[in-house]
Amino acid sequence: MQKSHKKIKDDYMFEIKEILGKITYKGIEDDNFEELRLALNRIYYL
């Protein structure tokens, strides 16, 4: 069964919130930045 567009976007938004939660006041780690960039790209190209 295929996921609905809304469900896929909700999953990605949850993933983005988790990544953003890893960002500290000291800044963003390179690997977190890359994870965030990839998640945003997946949403953009849906």
Alpha carbons 20 and 22: distance in angstroms, whole number: 5
Q: Which H, E and C letters describe the chain, residue by residue?
A: CCCCHHHHHHHHHHHHHHHHHHCECCECCHHHHHHHHHHHHHHHCC
Q: How far apart are CA 46 and CA 43, in angstroms?
A: 5
Average pLDDT, the chain: 76
pTM summary value: 0.52
pLDDT confidence band for 25 (50 / 70 / 90): low
State mean pLDDT over 29-39.
78
Tokens found for residue 41: 């790209």
Confidence bin at 43 (pLDDT 50/70/90)? confident
